A and B are shown apart, each in its own frame.
Chain A
Amino acid sequence: MSVQNLEIRRSSASLWGGATGMRSLPDVSKYVDTSTCIGCKACEVACQEWNDLAPVETHQVGTYQTLPTLDAGFWNLIRFDEREVDGGLKWLMRKDQCMHCAEPGCLEACPAPGAIVQYANGIVDVNPDNCIGCGYCETGCPFDVPRFSAKTGKMAKCTLCVDRVSVGLEPACIKACPTGCLHFGTKEDMVALGNARVAQLKASGFPQAALYDPKGVGGTGVVTVLGFGDHPEWYGLAASPRVPLSVKFWKKWLRPIGFLAILGAIVGAFGHHLYHGNKGFIDPGPPGPDETKG
């Protein structure tokens, strides 16, 4: 990959990002092949090392999985799952991390200007300087990725090693992978690679193999080859992820409607006064005979 610039395509709670469009950058993507992952966790270690993340306390929960779920201090997790398929045991492993959606639900839900940005190459990143730690991004994310850190009061997730990518290096996890199940490049190249691998798998006993690049979120910056492509949920992936309807409805409809309703009430009250004047301005006159006793 060539050196990338860090122009911003989209920014949270902002009308538009800062991308000038002077240079057109291709979207970048990771390629994850679950069928050649051996669960060595080298990517987990590389991620911790490069991002200076402190070790997270682990507990033995009867699986090889390092943690039950992602954490503010653990952005790259290999999920281990055992499935009985046609009488045989399948040991499924998938690299769980931020998917870097083309239409990021986290960014849409975020109320803090510039706290979540999407760079011109498609990488979705949290800017801790602007993050207010409200956790809306976790509600907006269809992949349950962003995590709140009680220590920093901010949200944290995989940055797709934007600091490495921007100077022409590949992400730390990709660099560490010993089997070649991880690759990094332009989205176009990674999709082509994925399709080729899916064709291979289909020809060798995995007719249901598929490339996971869900269109509901505009495609993702992590494309995943699934041996059992008809069951993404076996790998902990949603079958058809979307930005939650509630978040879209809130931002696109409820908020502008509410804004106009409140403004309308103010204008209405003002107009009412212009038209009617004071209520009860006219002197009611002397009290009637039944009102004078008191």
Chain B
Amino acid sequence: MSKVVRQIGFDEGAYIAREKEDVVVGNEIVRHRLSSRVIHWSVAVTFFACLVTGLPVWTPVFGWMATLVGGLSVARVVHAWFGLAFALASLVMAVHWWSEMEMTKEERGWIGPKLVEYLNDAANHDRIGKYNGGQKVYFHTSGLGALGLLVSGIVMWWPMSFPQWARETALILHNVSFILFAVSLVFHIYLATVAEPGTFNSMTRGTVSKAWARIHHPKWYRELMGLEK
């Protein structure tokens, strides 16, 4: 790994990003190694599989989506299995990123006014490390959401095995978890794509530019460049 054989067309950044992250490679920085990206996309793909099969059951407005999997009764059955896969992927993701997502007291402020500041381009980024408070909040809320969806989903998978109060609670919990998850997911996707050019690359090729790191995660940048210990 340390000795990279260079030849014409060799993509050193992507090569390094297979196994390592938080490494400077030329003008780039590896932000997410291959395993991180695979885990992220496992969660994303299984979530969208759940979305396509769950929305037509949620409301007939999205009934047309059921056609994609062969009808509402098929959607209902495969939704549960996709849900299980989503829960497993989320669990792996939670374990994978847990240590990096510990929140400081300051970062808890992102649940409220800090988030608004950030969206208004008024936040001071200087102390932001690899992940900002908003990303950490999203990590935890989506994890909680996945847990809520899993617990209520199990009850809804075999409703007849559970008492009435559990079934009613599950209906509400599945709805509330989904709504919160979906709303935050909209912002997650927005901020990771059109809102911040260069970010999406960190989840595909695994790398970001140095300029991107300086703008959005200056503390992380300084650490990697050996400017701050």
Q: Which residues of A contact B (CB under 8 A)?
A: 13-14, 111-113, 131-136, 138-139, 144, 148, 153, 244, 246-247, 249-250, 254-255, 257-259, 261-262, 264-266, 268-269, 272-273, 276, 278-281, 283-284, 287, 290-291, 293-294
15 A-B pairs with CB atoms under 8 Å apart are A13-B59, A13-B60, A111-B60, A135-B160, A138-B159, A139-B171, A144-B164, A148-B159, A255-B175, A258-B175, A273-B190, A273-B194, A276-B121, A283-B211, A294-B225
Segment 104-160 of B: residues with Cβ below 8 Å from A:
119-121, 156, 159-160
How many chain B residues touch A (CB < 8 A): the figure is 49
Chain A residue nearest to B175 in the complex (CB) = A254
Contact A262 B171 (CB under 8 A): no
Contact B197 A278 (CB under 8 A): yes
Tell me whether B69 is interfacial, beta carbon within 8 Å: no
Number of A-B contacts defined by CB within 8 Å: 131
Residues on A with beta carbons closer than 8 Å to the beta carbon of B160: 135, 138, 148
Segment 181-199 of B: residues with Cβ below 8 Å from A:
182-183, 186-187, 190-191, 194-198
A256: min CB distance to chain B, Å: 9
Residues on A with beta carbons closer than 8 Å to the beta carbon of B61: 259
Residues on B with beta carbons closer than 8 Å to the beta carbon of A244: 164, 168
Contact B60 A139 (CB under 8 A): no
B72: min CB distance to chain A, Å: 5
Chain A residue nearest to B216 in the complex (CB) = A280
Q: How far is the CA of A122 from the CA of B183 in the complex (A)?
A: 40
Tell me whether B215 is interfacial, beta carbon within 8 Å: yes
Residues on A with beta carbons closer than 8 Å to the beta carbon of B195: 269, 272-273, 276, 278-279
Tell me whether B212 is interfacial, beta carbon within 8 Å: yes
Residue from A136, A148, A258 with most neighbouring chain B CB atoms (10 Å): A258
Chain B residue nearest to A246 in the complex (CB) = B168
Chain B residue nearest to A266 in the complex (CB) = B186
Contact B211 A279 (CB under 8 A): no
A272: min CB distance to chain B, Å: 6
Tell me whether B200 is interfacial, beta carbon within 8 Å: no
Q: How far is the CA of A260 from the CA of B22 in the complex (A)?
A: 40
Tell me whether B5 is interfacial, beta carbon within 8 Å: no
* The one of A113, A135, A276, A293 that contacts B63, using a Cβ cutoff of 8 Å: A113
Residues on A with beta carbons closer than 8 Å to the beta carbon of B75: 132
Contact B73 A153 (CB under 8 A): yes
A128: min CB distance to chain B, Å: 11
Asked, given contacts A138-B160, A148-B160, A246-B171, whether A254 binds B176 with beta carbons under 8 Å apart, the answer is yes
Contact B186 A272 (CB under 8 A): no
Contact B57 A254 (CB under 8 A): no
Tell me whether B179 is interfacial, beta carbon within 8 Å: yes
Residues on A with beta carbons closer than 8 Å to the beta carbon of B172: 246, 249-250, 254
